[in-house]
Amino acid sequence: MAEEIIFEELGKNERTLLLRAFDYNVDSNGYVLTPAGQRIRSKENPSIFIKAEFASLVPGSLEVIDGTPTAISEFLRKREQGEEANDCSGNNNSN
């Protein structure tokens, strides 16, 4: 059975605090910065950078993605495919 994932909506200040807690930062224009101080490009649209108000931290990692429905569905699809690959390789925990 797949693990339940819970998404929580945070306000702008809470989201900024959470990003900073994981060594990210937000510049004066509202863009998310890596620990090295570089803006993070959107994987969904590489021509734009991720703004804090639209950022999502991926559960189980420290990766920042767009909080758009398309980006979240891609994350869920990849996660599901990874779980299916583990099941096929015999790495499941069912007895």
Tens-of-pLDDT digits for all 95 residues of the chain? 556 666 667 788 888 888 898 899 999 999 999 999 999 999 888 999 999 988 887 766 677 877 777 777 887 788 778 766 666 655 555 44
- The pLDDT score that the predictor gives to residue 87 is 60
Token pair, residue 77, equals 């699809």
Residue 69 lies in a domain: yes
Residue 69 structural domain: 12-88
* Strand ranges inside 1-95, DSSP E: 25-26, 32-33, 55-57, 64-66
Predicted confidence at residue 70, as pLDDT, reads 78
**Count of domains in the chain?**
1
In a domain, 30, yes or no: yes
Query: Are the CB atoms for 71 and 56 separated by under 8 Å?
Result: yes
What's phi and psi for 25, nearest 5 deg?
-145, 175
How many C-beta neighbours within 10 Å does residue 51 have? 19
Looking at residue 94, what is its pLDDT?
Answer: 45
The pLDDT of residue 89 is: 57
Say if 1 falls within a structural domain.
no
pLDDT at site 2: 58
